[in-house]
A and B are shown apart, each in its own frame.
Chain A
C-alpha cells in the first residue's frame, strides 16, 4: 500500500463542482452534456451527491467524473478519469465523463495541455481524488453500521463487510458520504492491483464524434450570439491604419466593423501574437462575413522590415558566428580530440518554418459584460487566458470564467491565447456575446510557427572506430534547437554543444515536441551516418554509447536515463527482428527521449514504382505505467504519421513578410496514401509513475524515415522537407 498526504480538505476539493456543473456545457441537457464511458450499465440517477471536485455519485450508483484538462486529441478525457475511477474503485461502465471548467484550486492540478504533462502532473491529484472518494464512502458505511472501517472493503462500486453479510452500493451510501471530512493521509493502490489502469479503453467521446454532435469550439452556440471574423495585416512587420469602414458596414449581413487592439501589459509567453491590431467584422452568418472580408480595402503602415525565406536561410548561416548563445556545454577537449581523430565527419541539417494547421481553425466565444466575462472555446492554457483577459479587460480574475470545449487539434497552437483575447475585445466593444472565427487562411498566415533551424554536427572516431569527439552547434529563428544535456552528452569524453538564437519578426512558438522534433531528426540521422562510418550496426553503436553512459557517464547533468533509453532500443530490436533482412525491404532506426518518455522506432521502406513507401513501423515506448493502452497506441501512431508528414512534405516560406502558403492547396500535409501501411506499438512494462505521450512519438519518426530512405535510395536526407528540398546530392525524386 502507498500512503499519500492530501494537504487539503474536503472543502477545497468540493468547490469545483458548482463551477463544473454550471455554465460549461454548450446548453445541452445533462444527458448529452456528459459522456457515458460506454452505454451506462445502470439507470440514470434522480439525485446526485458531490463527493469532491472530481466526483459526483448518483443514487443509482452511476458516477460522474470531471476531467480537469483540455482535450486536444491526446485522449486525456478518457485516461484522466480512468485514474480517478481506478482508485475510487468503480466499474468503468458505471462512469460518465464530463469536461471540468477552469478551477485549478479545486482540481489541485494545473489545467493545461502542453509538454505532454497532463498525466505526469495529474497522477497524484487524480489518484488522490479517487482514493479520497472511496475513503469517504467507506467511512459513511462504517458509521451507518457502527463498525470499524478496517472491517470493510470496497470494490467495483460496492462496500462489503469483510467478515459479515452486509453490503451496500456506492449510490446508496453516497448521500451520507458527502458530509465526511477527507483524512490527512490516504491509501493508494499498488500498481499490481490495478484493474482499470493498463487496460484498453475506447475514447469516451467516440459515440459523439462519429455522429457529429456539437463538441468543438466552432460548434459552440449561445442565445443571442453573433459571429465575428478578423482581418490581419498581409505581412509581418505591418500594422493596420484604417479601412473602408462605411462600405463594409453597409454590406448585406454585416452588423458592425471596427479595429480591435489586444495589447496587454507585460505579456507572458502565452500571449505571443503576430498582430495586436485587427479588423473585426460582425454579422450573423459566416458566408456573409467572408464576403465582407473580401471587400475590405485597408491602409497599412510598415513598422519593421519585411523578411523573406532567402534572408532566413542567410541568418541561420550567420547565426553560427553572430547568434546569441542561449545554452552550451563542453566536456573534455573537443578541439584536441578532433585533431587526433582517425576519421571526422561533419553534416548540416536544416528545417524551414512550419505552421501548426490544427484541423479546426482558431476560434473563441466571449461574452464580456460590465463586470464579468465568460470565455469558452478551444484553449490548451485556460489559466493563462484568464490572466491575460484580466489584464486586457481590466477585470478581476475572479470575474472571468473560462470553459474548455473539445479541440480540433492543438499541437501547441492553442497554448497561445490571442484568439481568446480577440474574442474578448470584440465582445467588449459590441457589448454582446460573440463567437470569433478564423478562416483557414487567417489561421495559416497568422501563426505562432515552428521556428526555422540549422544545426551542424561533427563526430570524430579513433582508429578502433570508437567515438572520441562530438560537437553540435545549432541556430534557430528565434530560438536554437540544441539540448546540450541530452544524448550523446554523457557518452563521449570530448563533447561540445552550443544553442544559438537569431532574431526574426515572424511570430513563433511551441509546435508539437518543440525543438525535439528537429533535433531528433538531425541527431539520429547523423548518428546513423557515424555508425556507418564506424562500420557498426546502428543499434549496436547506440547501445555501446548507452553502456558507457550507464557505467561511467561523462559529466553529471545528463538529461536521460541510459538504461531506459537502451531499453526501448532493445525492445524495438526484438520486436522488429532487427538483423534479419527481407528482400526489397529497407530499414532505418532512431530513438529519442523527450517530454519524460523514451521512444525507439524501426521503419521498413520498400520501393514501389520507383517511389519509397513506408510499409511498416515498429515503436517501442517507455512512458512508465500505461494508463490507457488504446489511447496510448493511437497517439504514438499519430506521432509517427506527423513525423513523416512534416519531414517529407511541409514548409512555410516567406516573401515580402507574408507567408507564401495560405491553405492546403499550397501547404502540403500528409495524406492517406502517404501514411505507413502498418504501425505496431509496444510498451516497456514497469511500475514507474507515468509520463506523457502527446509529443514523444513524433521526434524519432523523421530520423527513422530518413535512415530507411537512405537504405532504399542511397541518398542521405539532411534538409526538410525531404520531398522537395535540395539535398546537395544526386537523387531520385520522391514524394
Chain B
C-alpha cells in the first residue's frame, strides 16, 4: 500500500492502494466514479478508456503509479454539463443500445478529434477499432464522430 495523489477531472484526490492497482479500479472502487467501465481487463475492448494528459488510454492497463502527476479525465469530467461536442453528437445520433461500451467509445472519439479535428472514415475506424460494441452500434458511432467533427468546426 502507498499513497497516491491524483488529479482527476480537475480535482485532487488521494488514494491508498497497491502501486500496481489499475486506474480502472481506483476510479471505480475508491473514487466511486463508475462511468469508466470494465469489459475485459486486458486492453482488448476499450470500455475502460480515459484520458491521461489528453491521450486516450486503457485504464485497465494504466497503473495508479503511472497516472500520478498526470491529468486524468473520465467520462464524468469530459464536460461539465454533458455537452461536449462528442456527447451531443452521440445524443443526436441516438447511438446507444445497452450503452455499456459508450463511455469508452466517447472517450476514444473525443481524444481522436482533439488530435485530428477532421478524420477520414479510415482514420475513424483505426482510432476506434480498440473499442468493442457488442450491441453493434458501429455505424451510428461513425456517424456521430463525423457529426461531432462537423459541429466543432462550424
CB pair A209–B129 under 8 Å, yes or no, is: no
**Cβ distance A606 to chain B, nearest Cβ, rounded Å:** 14
CB pair A210–B45 under 8 Å, yes or no, is: no
Counting chain A residues whose Cβ lies within 8 A of the other chain, the interface size class is: 35 or more
**Cβ distance B125 to chain A, nearest Cβ, rounded Å:** 4
Decide: A665 near B44, CB < 8 A? Known: A672-B141, A675-B136, A676-B139: yes
Interface stretch of the complex, out of A162-170, A352-360, A528-536, A544-552: A352-360
A211, A439, A663, A669 — most chain B CB neighbours (10 Å): A211
Which residues of A, 334-387, contact B by the 8 Å Cβ criterion?
357-361
A408 CA / B135 CA spacing, docked (Å): 9
A677 CA / B35 CA spacing, docked (Å): 29
Q: A640 touches which one: B99, B136, B141 (CB < 8 A)?
A: B136
Q: B97 touches which one: A75, A218, A221, A288 (CB < 8 A)?
A: A75
Decide: A409 near B44, CB < 8 A? Known: A285-B25, A671-B129: no
Check A109 for interface membership: any CB of B closer than 8 A: no
A631 CA / B99 CA spacing, docked (Å): 13
Interface stretch of the complex, out of A9-17, A198-206, A583-591, A717-725: A198-206
What per-residue 1/0 map shows which CB atoms of B103-131 lie under 8 Å from chain A? 10010000000000000010011101101
For B75, what are the chain A residues with a Cβ–Cβ distance below 8 Å?
210-212
Which residues of B, 13-49, contact A by the 8 Å Cβ criterion?
17-18, 21-22, 25, 28-30, 32-42, 44-45, 47
**Cβ distance A298 to chain B, nearest Cβ, rounded Å:** 21
Decide: A210 near B82, CB < 8 A? Known: A287-B21, A638-B137, A672-B124: yes
Please report whether the interface of chain A is mostly helix, strand, loop or mixed according to DSSP.
Answer: loop
CB pair A672–B142 under 8 Å, yes or no, is: yes
A681 CA / B72 CA spacing, docked (Å): 40
By beta carbon, the residue of chain A nearest B124 is A672
For A214, what are the chain B residues with a Cβ–Cβ distance below 8 Å?
34-35
For B103, what are the chain A residues with a Cβ–Cβ distance below 8 Å?
209-210, 212
By beta carbon, the residue of chain A nearest B20 is A287
Decide: A285 near B41, CB < 8 A? Known: A634-B94, A672-B129: no
A409 CA / B133 CA spacing, docked (Å): 10
Decide: A210 near B91, CB < 8 A? Known: A638-B137, A676-B139: yes
Q: B134 touches which one: A203, A218, A358, A672 (CB < 8 A)?
A: A358
A513 CA / B38 CA spacing, docked (Å): 27
Q: A285 touches which one: B30, B91, B94 (CB < 8 A)?
A: B30
By beta carbon, the residue of chain A nearest B133 is A359
For B37, what are the chain A residues with a Cβ–Cβ distance below 8 Å?
216, 218, 359-360, 408
**Cβ distance B113 to chain A, nearest Cβ, rounded Å:** 15
CB pair B102–A209 under 8 Å, yes or no, is: yes
Which residues of A, 661-680, contact B by the 8 Å Cβ criterion?
663-665, 669-673, 675-679
A642 CA / B137 CA spacing, docked (Å): 10
**Cβ distance B47 to chain A, nearest Cβ, rounded Å:** 6
Which residues of A, 610-646, contact B by the 8 Å Cβ criterion?
630-631, 634-635, 637-642, 645
A288 CA / B38 CA spacing, docked (Å): 15
A215 CA / B102 CA spacing, docked (Å): 13
**Cβ distance B9 to chain A, nearest Cβ, rounded Å:** 11
For B29, what are the chain A residues with a Cβ–Cβ distance below 8 Å?
227, 284-287
For B38, what are the chain A residues with a Cβ–Cβ distance below 8 Å?
218, 286, 361, 440
Decide: A210 near B90, CB < 8 A? Known: A664-B45, A672-B142: yes
Which A residues lie at the B interface, using CB under 8 A?
72-75, 202-203, 205-207, 209-216, 218-219, 221, 227, 252, 284-288, 290, 357-361, 406-411, 439-440, 630-631, 634-635, 637-642, 645, 663-665, 669-673, 675-679
Q: List 28 A-B contacts (CB under 8 A).
A: A72-B98, A73-B99, A206-B90, A206-B96, A209-B99, A210-B75, A212-B75, A218-B34, A221-B34, A287-B22, A359-B47, A359-B134, A361-B38, A361-B39, A409-B135, A410-B98, A439-B41, A440-B40, A634-B97, A635-B97, A638-B97, A664-B39, A670-B138, A673-B129, A675-B139, A676-B139, A677-B121, A677-B139
With A634-B94, A673-B125 already in contact, 6 other A-B pairs whose C-beta atoms are closer than 8 Å = A73-B99, A214-B35, A284-B29, A287-B18, A638-B97, A638-B137
